[in-house]
């Protein structure tokens, strides 16, 4: 069966917009008109008003235009979370240019690969990260303009929160680069943003994590950010003028949606932190009465483990979606968090780079633990039979396929990969899941990580979830290994809880699994590890374990 993209008939209710379907930078300029003196972003106590943010963005856009950056050009952003990231992000998009964000954890070879693959004409980076660019700059034939910035340029004289050492200083402007703050001060602002096609022009090229092969640049249209942010507000009944905390990396699609876009769409005040520290996070919530925070489950657990945490006041929190990385968002964890804060945390959403993430939301009045929630407004999600391509009925597992008017337009210069993933307007995610009778989506694994044991399909996530019931297991990762009799068998890499180190053996784990899982599914091999390889966002890299 070939899915038609006509109107995505099974989409949830359609999206309504606060100020219409316009680029996100239009919302920024609107905020500067409606609330010029309100703090848009706070960085360790330094407040950037909507007026200043809009003016700085327009000035940086003016400078970039003078340097030859225009519509369709690719510009790298290689920064930790900071006000300069937001200014640069919107300045690039005001010109109709395309942002390609780089993870600040990248080393020189990774920087070279992305900037070269993206054919970037310019890159804006932190002065702390410039050495990575400098090391490969001579090999990047398309790269012309290099801008650098010191995070300390946006710090206040008297910080309200502890400032990490690498944020407080930094080198002077490196030779051969342009200082971002100087450029903003001296440039003439643009009068109007470049006209763009909301549905078709590309605004963002985010590189996928590369679970198969090298990372690919997913090209997302201008409208994707506004569409998904409006859907987030509509589904969760979020209000204007809140105060949010942004810790998740802005370079990552989820951190970008909640830290760069949501605050602008909702005219929030956003408190920026470049990394997670439990004590600093608690102090930020207390100091600024934060009511919105997108977290990763280990962050919540770390805060719950702070000494005397019960004496702290986190009762301002009202909305706390959290992602299961490393440890899952469980009902018991959520109950502990609610007792401390009064706020009901829940699984954030299902999504991927190619759909601008946030494809589902969790109704706060009807949480289904273990699920990804329901489709966002305007989003059509189907479950497709892996063999026949037919749409699966409720309760039946298959490939998750996502359709809406603003999914990605393909992978940059990768037509074959595009054809495999994007078909007639639908994104074939490579993920496997099902809908329950109440319309909640459950994710069960990835097709390419599926393990075939004696003809049965085994998904690593299923094995790992079951292993969390073992009292000694802190974390695990399942991969398939060749088995001449069974085709493949499951091998499990296990991180033990500290109290169990030396008290249980690999065979103990296998025996427990044999008693608690189907015969075809339980791991035949177990290896203890001190830690598991993971991405910067905390996603376990099973492929690295399998490659071993």
Residue 35: half-sphere exposure toward Cβ, Cα within 13 Å: 17
Residue 506 is part of a domain; what is its CATH number?
Answer: 3.30.300.30
Print the domain residue range for 526. 451-547
Helix (H), strand (E) at residue 101:
strand 98-101
Residue 448 has pLDDT above 90, yes or no: no
Closest by alpha carbon to 539, among 250, 335, 326? Answer: 326
Average confidence (pLDDT) over 321-325: 88
Residue 487 lies in a domain: yes
* Model pLDDT, residue 13: 75
Q: How confident is the model at residue 247 (pLDDT cuts 50, 70, 90)?
A: very high
The pLDDT assigned to 9 comes to 59
The phi, psi pair for 90, rounded to 5°, reads -75, -30
**In-domain check, residue 42:** no
Rounded Cα distance, 381 and 396, in Å: 14
Predicted confidence (pLDDT) per residue in 358-375, tens digit: 999 999 999 999 999 999
Mean residue pLDDT across the chain:
93
- Under the banding of pLDDT at 50, 70 and 90, the label for residue 210 is very low
Is a pLDDT exceeding 70 seen at residue 10? no
Nearest alpha-carbon partner for 479 in 504, 454, 452: 452
Asked, for residue 418, whether it belongs to a domain, the answer is no
Whether the pLDDT of residue 17 is over 50: the answer is yes
Predicted confidence (pLDDT) at residue 455 exceeds the cutoff of 90:
no
Predicted local distance difference test score (pLDDT) of residue 211: 41
In the structure encoding, which two tokens stand for residue 328, read together?
């899952």
Beta-carbon neighbour count of residue 521 at 10 Å?
22
Which pLDDT score, from 0 to 100, does residue 7 have?
A: 54
Does 20 have pLDDT greater than 90?
yes
Residue 122's region, left for phi above 0, alpha for psi from -120 to 50, else beta, is beta
Q: Does position 384 have pLDDT exceeding 60, yes or no?
A: yes
Q: Of 418 and 535, which is predicted with more confidence?
A: 418
Distance CA 196, CA 178 (A): 28
Strands 374-375 and 295-296: unpaired
Q: Residue 8's pLDDT band (boundaries 50, 70, 90)?
A: low
Average pLDDT over residues 310-334: 92
Q: Is the pLDDT of residue 214 over 90?
A: no
Instruction: Name which of 170, 175, 179, 156 is nearest 80 in CA terms.
Output: 170
Average pLDDT rounded to a whole number, residues 35-41 = 98
Instruction: Please check whether residue 202 is in contact with residue 409, taking contact to mean a CB–CB distance below 8 angstroms.
Output: yes
pLDDT-derived band at 454, boundaries 50, 70, 90: confident
47 falls within a domain: no
User: Could you tell me if residue 341 is inside a domain?
Assistant: no
Residue 44 lies in a domain: no
Number of domains in the chain: 1
Asked which of 3-12, 95-104, 320-329 is least confident by mean pLDDT, the reply is 3-12
The average pLDDT across 223-227 equals 98
The pairing of strands 39-43 and 269-272 is parallel
Close Cβ partners of 393 (under 8 Å, ≥ 6 residues apart): none
In this structure, is residue 17 part of a structural domain? no
Mean pLDDT, to the nearest integer, of 145-163?
97
Query: Is there a domain that residue 470 lies in?
Result: yes
Q: pLDDT digits over 52-77, tens only?
A: 999 999 999 999 999 999 999 999 99
pTM, 2 dp: 0.86
Terminal C-alpha separation, the chain:
38
């Amino acid at each position: 069966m070939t899915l038609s993209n006509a109107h995505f008939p099974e989409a949830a209710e359609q999206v309504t917009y606060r100020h219409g379907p316009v680029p996100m930078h239009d919302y920024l300029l609107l905020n500067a008109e409606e609330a010029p003196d309100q703090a848009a972003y706070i960085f360790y106590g330094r407040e950037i008003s909507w007026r200043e943010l809009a003016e700085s963005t327009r000035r940086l856009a003016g400078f970039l235009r003078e340097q030859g950056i225009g519509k369709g050009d690719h510009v790298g952003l290689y920064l930790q979370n900071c006000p300069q990231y937001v200014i640069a992000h919107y300045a690039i998009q005001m010109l109709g240019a395309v942002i390609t964000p780089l993870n600040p954890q990248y080393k020189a070879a990774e920087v070279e690969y992305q900037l070269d693959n993206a054919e970037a004409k310019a890159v804006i980076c932190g002065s702390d990260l410039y050495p990575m660019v400098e090391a490969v700059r001579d090999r990047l034939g398309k790269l012309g303009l290099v801008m650098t910035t010191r995070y300390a340029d946006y710090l206040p004289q008297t910080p309200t929160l502890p400032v990490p050492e690498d944020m407080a200083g930094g080198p002077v402007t490196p030779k051969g680069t342009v200082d971002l703050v100087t450029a903003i001060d001296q440039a003439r602002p643009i009068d109007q943003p470049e006209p763009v096609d909301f549905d078709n022009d590309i605004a963002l090229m985010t590189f996928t994590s590369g679970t198969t092969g090298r990372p690919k640049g997913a090209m997302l249209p201008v409208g994707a950010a506004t569409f998904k942010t409006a859907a987030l507000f509509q589904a969760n009944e979020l209000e204007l003028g809140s105060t949010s905390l942004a810790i998740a990396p802005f370079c990552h699609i989820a951190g970008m949606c909640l830290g760069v876009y949501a605050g602008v769409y909702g005219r929030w005040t956003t408190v920026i932190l470049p990394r997670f520290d439990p004590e600093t996070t608690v102090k930020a919530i207390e100091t600024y009465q934060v009511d919105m925070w997108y977290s990763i489950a280990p962050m919540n657990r770390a805060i719950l483990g702070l000494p005397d945490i019960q004496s702290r006041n986190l009762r301002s929190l009202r909305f706390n979606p959290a992602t299961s990385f490393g440890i899952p968002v469980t009902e018991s964890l959520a109950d502990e968090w609610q007792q401390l804060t009064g706020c009901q945390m829940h699984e954030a959403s299902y999504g991927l780079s190619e759909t601008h993430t946030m494809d589902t939301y969790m109704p706060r009045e009807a949480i289904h633990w273990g699920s990804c929630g329901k489709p966002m407004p305007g989003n059509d999600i189907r479950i497709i039979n892996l063999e026949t391509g037919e749409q699966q009925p409720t309760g039946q597992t298959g490939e998750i396929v996502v359709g809406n008017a603003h999914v990605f337009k393909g992978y940059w210069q990768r037509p074959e990969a595009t054809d495999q993933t994007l078909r007639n307007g639908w994104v074939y995610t490579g993920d496997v899941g099902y809908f329950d009778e109440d319309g909640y989506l459950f994710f069960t694994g990835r097709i390419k990580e599926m393990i075939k044991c004696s003809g049965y399909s085994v998904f690593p996530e299923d094995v790992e979830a079951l292993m969390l019931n073992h009292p000694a297991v802190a974390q695990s990762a399942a991969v398939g290994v060749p088995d001449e009799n069974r085709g493949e068998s499951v091998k499990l890499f296990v991180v033990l809880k500290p109290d169990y180190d030396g008290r249980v053996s690999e065979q103990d784990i296998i025996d427990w699994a044999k008693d608690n899982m189907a015969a075809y599914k339980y791991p035949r091999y177990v290896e203890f590890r001190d830690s598991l390889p993971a991405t910067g966002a905390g996603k376990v890299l099973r492929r690295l374990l399998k490659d071993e």
